[in-house]
Amino acid sequence: MKNKKAIIIGASSGIGKGISLGLLENGYKIGISARRKERLDEIKKLNPEMVIVKEYDSSTEKNDKLINLLIEKLNGVDLIIYCSGIGIINKELDYSIEKKVNNLNVLGFTQVVTHAFNYFLKKGEGHIVNISSVASEIGNGISPSYNASKAYQANYLQGLRFKAFRMKMPIFLTDVRPGFVDTDILMGNKDKLFWVAPLDKACQQIIIAIERKRKIIYITKRWKIISLLIKILPERIIRLFF
């Protein structure tokens, strides 16, 4: 049987690394990218034949080149996953910080998914996955750009789902919305947070959602409760937490 092929952007740590390892175990050939090459090389060492590595800064608006290169080296691709993301506490509301977050979470994301969608249009099928967040559903006073960028991602993916439906194309778009997962992005604050999912458990659930071509998935499932509360509670209550 032909190997399935996937590209994972932001594979050097956390959720992107976990998904990469899971797909590798499931027999995928993978093209992985991020800035920390040494970490990508550790994944390659596990199965050199099945892993293509490309060190890349995805905040630079040259992601079309990155995706083209990985597609060429993999000789085609079935699944493209955007896991790169940053969130920076910005109590002073410094514009340069907001711009840094948006460059990766908005511009880099948009370039990867538009390029992926257009590639799959030509190919006639495909699957795009993005890791947004439960944060996509509410504003945040201490890191406004993070939550706003995640709202953009979730909305954008829904738009592309509508587009694929209208075009009657079998292009699937999966929006993964984690609550808290135990990765570096929590910056050592794990103990101050609640419902922090172990990384392995989160990645297992994400891989199942990918296999099932789910539209939206909460990681872990209980975060759907928070999503519902965000929708029904008045802002005067919600603002006490954000």
Ligand X SMILES: NC(=O)c1ccc[n+]([C@@H]2O[C@H](COP(=O)([O-])OP(=O)(O)OC[C@H]3O[C@@H](n4cnc5c(N)ncnc54)[C@H](OP(=O)(O)O)[C@@H]3O)[C@@H](O)[C@H]2O)c1
The residue ranges that bind ligand X (CB under 6 A) are 10-16, 34-36, 57-59, 83-87, 104, 131, 133, 178, 180-181, 183-186
* Comparison of 31 and 85: residue with beta carbon closer to ligand X: 85
In the complex, the smallest distance separating the C-beta of residue 38 from ligand X, rounded to whole angstroms, is 9
- Closest CB to ligand X among residues 164, 181: 181
Task: Compute the Cα dihedral for 31, 35, 41, 46 and give only its sign.
Answer: negative
Minimum distance from residue 219 beta carbon to ligand X (Å) = 8
Question: By C-beta, is 104 or 157 nearer to ligand X?
Answer: 104
Smallest distance, Å, CB 85 to ligand X?
2
Nearest distance in Å: CB 80, ligand X: 14
Select 99 or 165, whichever has its Cβ closest to ligand X: 99
* Residue 183 CB, nearest approach to ligand X (Å): 3
Q: Which is nearer to ligand X, 36 or 213 (CB)?
A: 36
